[in-house]
Structure 1
Amino acid sequence: MIKRHRIQFPKDELTNINQDEAYFYLQGSGSDRKIRFHDYDEIYQIQGLYEQIFYDRLKCTSPTKVATILESAVKQSQDSFSELRVLDLGAGNGMVGEELKKHGISRLVGVDIISEAYEATIRDRPGVYDAYYVEDFTKLGPERRDELIAWQFDCMVTVAALGFGDIPTKAFVEAFNLIKNGGWVAFNIKDTFFDISDESGFSTMIRELIFAKHVDIYCIERYRHRLSIEGKPLFYFAIAGRKNSDFPV
């Protein structure tokens, strides 16, 4: 049985904490340890902590939602969902890969920038991925790029990792361009990233990706990604579509 952890969310100054600045206290061993939500390297090292925070306490639904919307998109075509060769960008501890397996995906490769994510996947979900790379896609060398191209990916999935600096724009574009034209992409983004007033590089890239027709959108749905630490719903868009062309680097 996986150990349950004693977790406390901060009670003061909640209104001043942005989503990417949220943190919690891990209690025990005589003192409280403050950990940011985005300190994945620390969280993944403690078995069951990620799942307890984001799925048990904050009710995250995104792996299920993105896998479902991808399957719905592919069903609108003649392609076989189970035969897709999927690149899971920002694979983390393998929860998205596990969900894709439940939906019938057979060929699956994970990528994350931190070794702790890979180690957590091997510890908690061995066998989910056919391969798992610890790689910085902003510095992808020619040999590793050729190795990834050899997988002949026709689908890319990335969940809850876009727009807050977890996956830089350049890394997303690098992964997107590994997918063959006519392949599939599925991802989720915070609903505010579609706001025209958001001029961040990531928000601009996503709008250009869609409106410049690099992707034909098959499914898009606004949904509750998870709860905030105050218990308020955080809304995201889940998007799935078919790639038309590479994105300019």
Structure 2
Amino acid sequence: CTSPHRVVSLLRSVLRDVHQSPEQLRVLDVGAGNGMVGQELRAIGAEHIVGIDIIPEAAIATARDRPGVYDAYHVADLTDLDTATDAELAQDRFNCLTTVAALGFGDIPPLAFMTAYEHIRTGGWLAFNIKEDFLEGADDTGFSRFIRGLIDAGAIRMHAYRRYCHRLSVTGDRLFYVAMIAQKVKQTPPEVAARVHD
């Protein structure tokens, strides 16, 4: 899977365009899995990287395969954060949210993404990808509707949108994803949040 490299490279390119150093990034990596995205972020010099995943085995795999990539790694449900984890995330002053190869499949519901989004400072970056089909109406998780809601409400500003081959399927077909880089303009507007809770 090429997605971790593709998404982080696109983020780095956008940062270069706006004359911002990757070394200023304080990243919340949602659906961190085994740390592939964290490793890419570390390679571009991100200052502080925190992973979060609902699956305990993901944290174990990261500690085994990529020790030291994350400054902290939380096993937590973003749709039902405990007070201590929520407070710890708030103290990290994140200015970047990444989530790669986990959206639109129901792995990370829109409510979880919205909760993570609320932990990102205004002016911070969003770097994520989604299967191309899900942008064309095949997403029944509501994630693409949530992103469109943020765009329409002026809550995020899109900076880059790139289609690429994520990997080959077992039958040899090319599976296309879209990487997106956006900047947070404001918190989730109430009307957009209400649709997430529906």
Q: Same fold (TM over 0.5)?
A: yes
Q: 1:3 matched to which residue of 2?
A: none
TM-score by length of 2: 0.91
Q: Which of the numbers 226, 229, 248 marks the counterpart of 2:167?
A: 226
Q: 1:174 matched to which residue of 2?
A: 115
- SS at structure 2 position matched to 1:216: strand
Q: Does 1:77 align with 2:18?
A: yes
Deviation at 1:89, TM superposition (A): 0.4
CA contact (8 A) 2:130 2:179 kept: yes
C-alpha separation in 2, matches of 1:223 and 1:198: 18
C-alpha separation in 1, matches of 2:62 and 2:141: 32
What aligned pairs does 1:52-201 form with structure 2 within 5 A after superposition? 60-196=1-137, 200-201=141-142
C-alpha separation in 1, matches of 2:45 and 2:70: 13
- SS at structure 2 position matched to 1:180: strand
CA deviations 1:179-217 (Å, max 9, x no partner) are 000000100001122225756422211221223222111
Q: Percent identity?
A: 51
Q: 1:38 matched to which residue of 2?
A: none
- SS at structure 1 position matched to 2:74: strand
CA contact (8 A) 1:72 1:219 kept: no
Deviation at 1:156, TM superposition (A): 0.5
User: In the superposition, relative to structure 1, how do residues 116 and 222 fare at CA in structure 2: closer, same or farther (>3 Å)?
Assistant: same
Q: 1:203 matched to which residue of 2?
A: 144
Question: Structure 1: any 5+ residue segments left out of the alignment?
Answer: 1-59
CA deviations 1:200-240 (Å, max 9, x no partner) are 42221122122322211111101111111111011111000
What aligned pairs does 1:29-68 form with structure 2 within 5 A after superposition? 60-68=1-9
Structure 1 segments, 4+ long, off by >6 Å, are none
Question: Structure 2: any 5+ residue segments left out of the alignment?
Answer: 194-198
| Amino acid corresponding to residue 142 of structure 1 in structure 2 | T
CA deviations 1:64-94 (Å, max 9, x no partner) are 0000011111122243211210010000011
- SS at structure 2 position matched to 1:181: strand
User: In the superposition, relative to structure 1, how do residues 177 and 228 fare at CA in structure 2: closer, same or farther (>3 Å)?
Assistant: same
More helix by share: 2
C-alpha separation in 1, matches of 2:113 and 2:160: 20
C-alpha separation in 2, matches of 1:206 and 1:141: 25
CA contact (8 A) 2:109 2:141 kept: no
Deviation at 1:121, TM superposition (A): 0.5
- SS at structure 1 position matched to 2:166: strand
Number of paired residues? Answer: 190
| C-alpha RMSD of matched pairs (Å) | 1.4
User: In the superposition, relative to structure 1, how do residues 211 and 128 fare at CA in structure 2: closer, same or farther (>3 Å)?
Assistant: same
Q: Does 1:235 align with 2:170?
A: no
C-alpha separation in 2, matches of 1:223 and 1:112: 25
- SS at structure 2 position matched to 1:195: helix
TM-score by length of 1: 0.73
CA contact (8 A) 2:105 2:141 kept: no
CA deviations 1:150-196 (Å, max 9, x no partner) are 00000000000001011111000000110000000100001122225
